[in-house]
Amino acid sequence: MAKAKLMDYDKALELFEPVLGFEVHVELSTKTKMFSAAPNNFGSEPNTNITPTCLGLPGSLPVVNEEAVRYSISLGLALGCEIAESSSFARKNYFYPDLAKNYQISQFDEPIAINGNVEVELPNGRIVQVDIERAHMEEDAGKLTHVGGSTGRIQGAEYSLVDYNRAGVPLVEIVTRMIEGAEHDAPELAKAYVATIRDIVIALGISDAKMERGNLRCDANVSLRPRGSDKLGTRTETKNVNSLRSVERAVRYEIQRQAQILADGGTIIQETRHWHEDTGATSAGRPKSDADDYRYFPEPDLLPVVPDPALIEELRAALPEKPADRRRRLKADWGFTDLEFQDVVNSGLLSEITETVAAGATPQAARKWWTGEIARLANAAEGDEGIDISPAQVAELQQLVDEGTLTDRLARQVLEAVAAGEGSPREIVEAQGLAVVSDDGALIAAIDEALSAQPDVLEKIKDGKVQAAGAVIGAVMKAMQGKADAARVRELVLERAAAL
């Protein structure tokens, strides 16, 4: 697919103000589906997690999943929304083979949560308030697999397979108000907003929140307003954005693409666009107009959802700390510099470091391990399942260093073994005999041998050229196979040289 002509990003920002809006779909990790008792499991054999209701069989009826309602209320509260005293379901009518009933049960004019606000922190430290218009409950559609085409899309496919395991999985759709004023940070804001939603649902424990699995899906609306104009531009809605990085790239791409079209005197078509991870570009989907007619009407098979106010208060009291508040608290607690803290946030390591500190390590030590050696190992393991190191193991490793059992170098060696699944740090130290030699007798024997092997160095040390000791220390460390504390060796070398 040919990339569209793109305007330089800075130039685009000179000429236009980007206006954003997001619709994020969150799949809830309830035990059963939104309107039936079918299991809500990912990865099962196709068409096994289904009931007559999931298939829209004649005579079947939906029943609201109370767990999904509780999750939705919690999410609404975490987004700072008001929870509606009464909210109701509606039918969104359109024909598509992944939609068993050819209508989706959603919420239309009476969503469960309205008028919220989320604080989003950008990598440069800027904080942006994003207003939430609404969060509403609905059901997911089934999954189509198009077979025979080159693109995997419906165009050109010979036939399509449909799996209704996902049909009826509970979703909450979070809709922002129009976001103005993001300016140059628009792509970063897009990424940070979705990351914030992800952090919130993870903290609430209501979704697996894996973008690559579609647990969290973002539709990004982008339009450009010419500088000096107060008229909004035509927007596009980019779908199929399956990672945080893609969200950022897709928004940047749309800004550059639209700017070039407008600068060339063209017009933006109101449409959905598909993001292509491989080419880093969007392509036109189906035209979308505000007049799309879904013939919404109240779902007659379901009663309104009228949550007990006591339940709402109970869920409010159980809310975890807001991610922004948590970040502020942790930064103060840990005493990191701005740069150090941003690095941790951007690497998504807040929870890991929190847990490592809770397991006994100092914040700096925890940060050093997670942003340093573990990140390096994780990068090296790229493409695989990732690496499996727990915060408790990191804390244990640091403890071994602190008590002098391991040097930094040995500790890195132990960490690799941990990552390879060979056991806990202590088990590995024991199994491989990696502990530092703390027996001065053994060290002194090695030092004496090294000194006698390098009489010229001994002379230099005796003459007060202390830096010459390095050569001896190196020889001793080598003789001890690295299992010695270099600082202690240095002390002993100087002692022995003076005594000889």
272 neighbors 236 (Cβ within 8 angstroms): yes
Q: Is 354 exposed, middle or buried (0-12, 13-18, 19+ CB in 10 A)?
A: middle
170 neighbors 27 (Cβ within 8 angstroms): yes
341 neighbors 333 (Cβ within 8 angstroms): no
Closest distance of CB 285 from other proteins, Å = 17
* Closer residue to other proteins in complex, CB, 94/409: 94
* Closer residue to other proteins in complex, CB, 27/299: 299
Cα gap 69→440, rounded to integer Å: 66
Interface residue list for other proteins (CB under 8 A): 52, 55-64, 91, 93, 95, 97, 100-103, 160, 162, 291, 293, 295-297, 300-303
CA 304 to chain centre: 34
Cβ partners under 8 Å of residue 287, min gap 6 = 269, 270, 271
Token output for 71: 């999750």
Closest distance of CB 143 from other proteins, Å = 14
C-alpha triplet 259, 256, 5: angle, nearest 5°: 90
Cα gap 459→456, rounded to integer Å: 5
Give percent helix, percent strand, percent coil of the chain, each to the nearest 5. Answer: 40, 20, 40
426: number of Cβ within 10 Å: 16
State the virtual CA torsion across 38, 39, 42, 44 in degrees, nearest 10: -80
* Closer residue to other proteins in complex, CB, 95/403: 95
* Closer residue to other proteins in complex, CB, 295/316: 295
* Closer residue to other proteins in complex, CB, 20/90: 90
Closest distance of CB 59 from other proteins, Å = 4
The identity of residue 485, as a single letter, is D
* Closer residue to other proteins in complex, CB, 15/161: 161
Closest distance of CB 96 from other proteins, Å = 9
Cα gap 216→226, rounded to integer Å: 32
Q: Is 447 exposed, middle or buried (0-12, 13-18, 19+ CB in 10 A)?
A: buried
Cα gap 135→113, rounded to integer Å: 5
* Closer residue to other proteins in complex, CB, 52/214: 52
Closest distance of CB 160 from other proteins, Å = 7
Closest distance of CB 6 from other proteins, Å = 34
CA 238 to chain centre: 20
Closest distance of CB 98 from other proteins, Å = 9
* Closer residue to other proteins in complex, CB, 297/439: 297
State the DSSP string of 39-69.
B--SSPPTT-S--TTTTT-TT------HHHH
* Closer residue to other proteins in complex, CB, 169/406: 169
Closest distance of CB 114 from other proteins, Å = 22
Cα gap 483→481, rounded to integer Å: 5
Token output for 92: 């969104």
Cα gap 219→323, rounded to integer Å: 22
Angstrom distances, CA of residue 246 to CA of 22, 47, 188, 278 = 14, 30, 11, 10
Closest distance of CB 60 from other proteins, Å = 7
399: number of Cβ within 10 Å: 17
* Closer residue to other proteins in complex, CB, 33/368: 33
Closest distance of CB 217 from other proteins, Å = 23
136 neighbors 173 (Cβ within 8 angstroms): yes
* Closer residue to other proteins in complex, CB, 291/317: 291
Closest distance of CB 150 from other proteins, Å = 18
φ, ψ for residue 111 (rounded to 5)? -75, 160
Cβ partners under 8 Å of residue 328, min gap 6 = none
* Closer residue to other proteins in complex, CB, 42/296: 296
Closest distance of CB 62 from other proteins, Å = 7
